[in-house]
Chain A
Amino acid sequence: MRNAYLKTLYKLAKEDKNVLSLISDNGLIVYDDFKNDFPEQLLNFGMSENNMVMAGCGLASCGKIPFIYTISAFLAFRSFEFIRVDACVNNLNVKIVGIGSGVSYGYLGPTHHSTEDIGVLRVLPNLTIFSPSTPLMAQKVTEQAYKIKGPVYIRLGTNNEKEFYSENYNDNIKKLNNIIDGKDFYIISTGSIAYDAFKACQKLNENGYNIGFIDANCLKPFDSETLINLSKNCKNFIIIEEHNIISGLSSIVSDVIAENGLNCKVYKIGLNDVFAKGYGNHNQVKKQNGLDYDNIYLKIKNILENK
């Protein structure tokens, strides 16, 4: 997703001189092209995330369109109050781009995980939240973020996500994407873990089940309409997220269901109010927390069998 983001940003910066890339000592080689071709549009703030966020908002107040990029944890958590006031209270046109969603910085542990970022940020008025699941979606949400006049948070994975969208995808990125049609059960997922959820869904269907798969790339505003429509036939939703089940996608879906009296059951697969444990590569850490492909497959199967 990182490459897809950078490529898109490069294109935007080329077309619009007001597009600025703000970084804070993060991404040594990956910004080389940008630095060579648009040196004036690249601002490295050093290790000062809060300063970068606030300065980005100042730039936005002068008509610039800053894309503020660093590790999600340092934006969502460290700079929360600055995002709240400078970006959201002011409703300024800044794009806050967090890299390393969920536990993708597996070797570095909880200080570098973003497993509560959706939760803390979704409570902020004016903020749009994108959580792309594949490289193509990262490109689409970046393009969309540029078009939106207001603060946007983009939650990126890292760089190894696989694609499950076709190249000519052209739907409304703010809508839920119905990738696999299902009957009594639908899986809903978001972010880089969606690929595992998608694969698990395919496998279960090969094994005789008939479950659907929905990918959510926009978490705020959330596409309640599609969910309400689905609920007419489907009464069970299994949410898979690389995030605390409190306040993340599970909560978003539960809100919609409760508020609209949909009489559906929500199953939550994610971090159960804990910080992720263990160290290692992304998949190892997911495994230790019951969130790798095998665990997801078994957990879903278990739900289906005990229904």
Chain B
Amino acid sequence: MDLKQLAKEIRKDIFKTAYNGGSGHLGGAFSCVEILVSLYFSVLKYDKNNPLWKYRDKVIFSKGHGCLALYSVLNKIGYISKEQLNSYCKLNSNVGGEPKYMELDGVEATTGSLGRGLSFSIGIAIANKLDKIDSKIYTILGDGECQEGTVWEAVMSAGHRRLDNLTVILDYNKLQAMGNIDEILNLGDIKKSWESFGFFVYEVDGHNIDKLIEVLKDNLNNKIEKPRLIIANTIKGKGISIMENQPIWHYRLPSEKELDIFLNELEMTKEELFL
């Protein structure tokens, strides 16, 4: 499968879904498309026909507000139907702006109130060890999210317990809701701090699918007895020129005027938008 093409389609789906649902955190969703595509279409172990397969790898989508990216990928692997996706934020739908545990196939945790996914992942990682289940846990974390104290309680705990079945992927787009992370509450040296708490750290271009897959595979074969962090350098709003690196696009939909730019750059027609 051409994963670059797939990433393109997913961006269209995210935008279309948000636009028709009247709401969506586009910036944060667009920033993690390649991360999710690489993960779901290379190393992740799951059963297409049985989302609850006991030995599945689990993805904990901690930066819940970006969930349209997750939902669109879950749609591509067949867990969420097109109808479900299209029902996003409509009356009586169970598809909304933040993920809820088990509400949709493939949604393994309630997130959205930020800073909780990593601790939840630790619970799963420990349970897998207790039950001798050789499956992996992948936690998708926002960089702004790392300002929550709970994240650091979790980092220490994962390192201390040497949870080598746990991989955190940091969507490192350098922006939070109100602006640049460095200006609001700087995260320090991420690599050094996580390493000092016992993580093995990779760094990669978070929009380069080949490189991401290379790292994910390397990580899978890496037998070191430590939890892992993949710092994925990303661009918030990646793919739409007016959205890239602009804080204002954290939670906003385009105006009538801006819509043309979106459609142009996504290479989709207005008809497609409402299809």
Give the B-binding residues of A (Cβ under 8 A): 25-29, 44-51, 73-74, 78, 107-112, 278-281, 284, 287-288
Contacts and interface: CB of A to CB of B under 8 A. Distances in A.
B97 A279 contact: yes
Given A26-B177, A47-B176, A108 B97 contact: yes
B250 A44 contact: no
Interface string B35-52: 000000000000000000
Nearest to A24: B147
B236 to A, nearest CB: 13
Contacts of B247: 28
Contact of A108 (B91, B112, B185): B112
B201 to A, nearest CB: 22
B86 interface: no
Contacts of B114: 47
B144 interface: yes
A44 B179 CA distance: 11
Given A28-B177, A46-B144, A46-B185, A107 B149 contact: no
A107 B147 contact: no
Interface of B: 21-23, 64-65, 88-98, 100, 110-115, 144-145, 147-149, 176-179, 181, 184-185, 247-248, 250
Kindly name the residue among B21, B110, B113 whose own CB sees the greatest number of chain A CB atoms within 10 A. Answer: B113
Given A25-B176, A44-B178, 16 more contacts: A26-B178, A28-B178, A44-B184, A48-B148, A109-B98, A109-B112, A110-B110, A111-B64, A111-B100, A111-B110, A111-B112, A112-B98, A278-B91, A279-B94, A280-B96, A288-B92
9 contacts: A45-B185, A47-B114, A48-B148, A73-B113, A108-B96, A110-B110, A279-B89, A279-B97, A287-B91
Nearest to A74: B113
A280 B113 contact: no
Nearest to A108: B97
Contacts of B147: 25, 46-48
Contacts of B111: 111
Nearest to A105: B97
Contacts of B115: 47
B174 to A, nearest CB: 13
A279 B247 CA distance: 25
Contacts of A50: 149
A31 to B, nearest CB: 8
Contacts of B145: 47
A300 B149 CA distance: 46
Contacts of B95: 279
A278 B93 contact: yes
Nearest to B184: A46
Contacts of B88: 279
B113 A48 contact: no
A78 B119 CA distance: 15
Contacts of B250: 28
B177 A107 contact: no
Contacts of A26: 177-178
Given A27-B178, A28-B177, A47 B110 contact: no
Nearest to B248: A28
Given A26-B178, A47-B176, A112-B113, A107 B184 contact: no
A252 B253 CA distance: 41
Nearest to A23: B178
Contacts of A74: 113
Contacts of A45: 185
B89 A280 contact: yes
Nearest to B247: A28
Nearest to B179: A28
A25 to B, nearest CB: 5
A212 B100 CA distance: 40
